[in-house]
Structure 1
Amino acid sequence: MSATGTQHHNETRIVADPALPTIVITREFDAPPERVFRAYTDPDLVVRWLGPRRLTMWIERYDARSGGSYRYVHREDDGTEYGFHGVFHEVRPDERIVQTFTFEGFPDGVSLETAVFEDLGGRTRVTTTSLMGSIEDRDAMISSGMEGGLREGYERLDELLDGGRSDSADRHTDREMTS
């Protein structure tokens, strides 16, 4: 919370261990795990928060279950497209998602991602560990601009979880995320 107690700002931590081909992303959300998990797995919600605001997103398939797969595309206003796909290896409701992630512009750079949803008593900490094939692949991912897009996407997820309102007292009325 800020000094006035009116706003809680959640920081996104991104850590790249210099000795390992990993990126660890940690972010807290002002919502319980079942709501955050649903936002990660429901394609109608994913399309509303994943990635930067300047891009339009559409989902070709998004079968968030163990053994399912996904493919989605982000498009710039000028028509430039960025495709992504992968396989869900394990989807454990409200707890964990293990999936592969491939940016189609760099098809040899497949990563294995594990997202863990931790209940903080009405809030959720999501820790995502991405394992790449090499430190060079990891560094290429970081230099691609992923940090800015990730932070902006999480800000959009905060807005979605908050129902687009800044007044936290109204959160309980957000039927779309709780139904």
Structure 2
Amino acid sequence: MNALNLKAPVDTLAMEFTREFDAPREALFRAHADPELVKQWLGPRGLEMNVTEWEFKNHGGYRYVHSDEQGEYAFNGTFHTVRENEFILQTFEFEGMPDMVNIEYMWFEDLGGGRSRLRGRSICPNTEARDGLLSSGMEGGMTEGYEKLDELLTRL
């Protein structure tokens, strides 16, 4: 099993992660690009996802809403830079905490043999926002989401 490696270096505003996948880089990238695929894996189990906006291109935007019996959780951002099968630079905002916008970098690496690695860095606006994300169960949600992504990638 491929484990999530999430780090939040002390005295920085950054969170960094790596995760390997038993799938080609192109399939991994496609699962981040296609909203019909994204809603099958993004977020923890038990949440339903509705994509209300998805313009996956340079200077495009997105908005989606996760929901469960507790309520709705909306997120939005801008895709600043998209380089197919290589790189995504985007913003990320939880609408429940307006103005706390993260800048997120994602690199898609080909490991050969039909395997790939996703490397990411998220820069938060302040340490309170970073610590809030870390204490909200983000790591567990990312782990579950990437397990769902593993399942999706075996079907693609």
TM range (shorter): over 0.9
Alpha-carbon shift at residue 28 of structure 1 (Å): 0.4
Q: Residues 41-99 of structure 1: CA distance to partner in whole angstroms, max 9, x if unpaired?
A: 10010010001111111100111111110000000124x00000000000000000000
Q: Could you say which structure has the greater relative contact order, defined with CA pairs below 8 angstroms and 6 or more residues apart?
A: 2
Alpha-carbon shift at residue 133 of structure 1 (Å): 1.0
- Unaligned 5+ segments in structure 1 are 1-8, 164-176
Question: After the TM superposition, which residues 126-137 of structure 1 pair with which residues of structure 2 at under 5 Å, given as runs?
Answer: 126-137=118-129
- Find the aligned partners of 1:119 and 1:35 in 2 and give their Cα distance: 11
Paired amino acid for 1:104: E
1:16 and 2:1 aligned:
no
- Unaligned 5+ segments in structure 2 are none
Structure 2 residue corresponding to 1:95, chosen from 52, 68, 86: 86
Q: Of Structure 1 and Structure 2, which has the larger fraction of its residues in strand?
A: 2
What's the counterpart of residue 112 of structure 1? Answer: 103
Alpha-carbon shift at residue 149 of structure 1 (Å): 0.8
1:61 and 2:70 aligned:
no
- Find the aligned partners of 2:42 and 2:54 in 1 and give their Cα distance: 13
SS class of match (2:137): helix
Structure 2 residue corresponding to 1:26, chosen from 11, 18, 30: 18
1:138 and 2:130 aligned:
yes
Alpha-carbon shift at residue 150 of structure 1 (Å): 0.7
Between the two proteins, the alignment pairs up a number of residues equal to: 155
Q: Residues 124-175 of structure 1: CA distance to partner in whole angstroms, max 9, x if unpaired?
A: 1101100011122111111111111110000000000011xxxxxxxxxxxx
Q: CA RMSD in A?
A: 0.8
1:38 and 2:33 aligned:
no
TM-score normalised by the chain length of structure 2: 0.97
TM-score normalised by the chain length of structure 1: 0.85
- Find the aligned partners of 1:88 and 1:94 in 2 and give their Cα distance: 15
4+ long deviations beyond 6 Å: none
What's the counterpart of residue 75 of structure 2? Answer: 84
